Structure 1
Amino acid sequence: MSSPGSVWYTRCPAPTPLSIAYQLGWLDKKFLNAGVAVRSIRDSKDPSVRQSHFTHALDYSFRQGGNIPPIWARSGGRETRVVGITTTDEFQAIIALPGSGIAVAKDLKGRRIGVPRKPNSDVVDFQRATALKGIVSALSLGGLDHRDVELVYLDTNEGDLIERGNGAFLGLKRRYPYGDELLALASGKIDAFFVKGAEGIVLANQIGAVVVAEFGFHPDPTIRINNGTPRPLTVDARFLDEHFDLVVDLVATVAGVGDWATSNPDTAVRFIANEIGVGADAVWAANGRDVYRHLALKLDQDQIAAFDHFKRFLLDWSFIPADFDVFGWIDGRPLEAALRRSAA
Structure 2
Amino acid sequence: MSQEPKSVWYTRCPAPTPLSIAAQLGWVDEAFGTRSVAVASIRDSKDPAVRQSHFTHALDWSFRQGGNIPPIWARSGGRETRIVGITTTDEFQAVISLPTTGIKTAKDLKGRKVGVPRQAGGIVDFQRATALKGIVSALSLEGLTAGDVEIVYLDAREPALLEIGNATFLGLKRRYPYGGELLALARGEIDAFFVKGAEGLVLANQIGATIVSEFGFHPDARIRINNGTPRPLTVDAKFADERPDLVAELVATVDRVGAWAEAHPEDTVRFIAREIGVAEEAIWAANGTNVHRHLKLTLEDEQIDALSHFKDFLLEWGFIPADFDVAAWVDPRALDAARRSEAA
The TM-score, its normalising length taken from structure 1, stands at: 0.98
Which amino acid is the alignment partner of residue 142 of structure 1? E
Task: Give the alignment of 1:129-148 within 5 angstroms.
Answer: 129-148=129-148
Correspondence list, 1:59-98, <5 A: 59-98=60-99
Distance in 1 between the 2:157 and 2:332 partners? Answer: 39
Aligned residues: 342
Q: Deviations over 1:7-41 (max 9, x none)?
A: 00000000000000000000000000011000000
1:144-223 alignment runs, 5 A limit? 144-161=144-161, 165-167=166-168, 169-223=169-223
Contact 1:83 1:330 (C-alpha < 8 Å) held by counterparts: yes
Structure 2: gaps (5+ residues): none
1:1-344 aligned at under 5 Å gives the runs: 1-118=2-119, 120-161=120-161, 165-167=166-168, 169-344=169-344
SS at match of 1:99: helix
- Structure 2: how far apart are the matches of 1:279 and 1:159? 27
Contact 1:165 1:172 in 2 (8 A): no
The answer to whether the Cα contact below 8 Å between 1:164 and 1:173 also exists between their aligned partners in 2 is no
> 2:160, 2:89 → 1: CA distance?
24
Runs (4+) off by over 6 Å:
none
Kindly provide the amino acid, as one letter, of the partner of residue 184 in structure 1.
A
Amino acid aligned to 1:144: L
One-letter code of the match for 1:135?
I
Quote the Cα distance in structure 2 between the aligned partners of 1:17 and 1:113.
34
1:157 offset after TM fit, Å? 4.7
Contact 2:94/2:215, CA 8 A, preserved across alignment: yes
Q: State the Cα distance separating 1:165 from its structure 2 match.
A: 4.6
Residue 3 of structure 1 and its aligned partner are, at CA, apart by 1.6
User: What code does the residue aligned with 2:80 have?
Assistant: E
C-alpha displacement at 1:159, in angstroms? 3.0
What is the RMSD computed on CA atoms of the aligned residues? 0.9
Deviation at 1:158, TM superposition (A): 2.9
The one-letter amino acid paired with 1:73 is A
2:281, 2:191 → 1: CA distance?
28
Aligned AA (1:83): V
Amino acid paired to 1:71: I
Q: How far apart, in 1, do the equivalents of 2:78 and 2:51 lie?
A: 19
Distance 2:5 2:161 in 1: 26
Distance 1:223 1:4 in 2: 41
1:99 is displaced (CA, Å) by 2.2
- Percent identity over the alignment is 72
Q: Which amino acid aligns with 2:256?
A: G
SS at match of 1:7: strand
Q: Give, in angstroms, the shift of residue 160 of structure 1.
A: 3.0
**Where do 5+ consecutive residues of structure 1 fail to align?**
none
- Could you tell me how far apart the structure 1 residues matched to 2:267 and 2:174 are? 23
SS of equivalent residue, structure 1 residue 143: coil
The one-letter code of the counterpart of 2:78 is G
Which residue type is aligned with residue 341 of structure 2? R
Structure 1 residue 121: deviation in Å?
1.3
Q: What is the CA-CA distance between 1:126 and the residue it aligns to?
A: 0.2
Indicate the SS of the match to 1:249.
Answer: helix
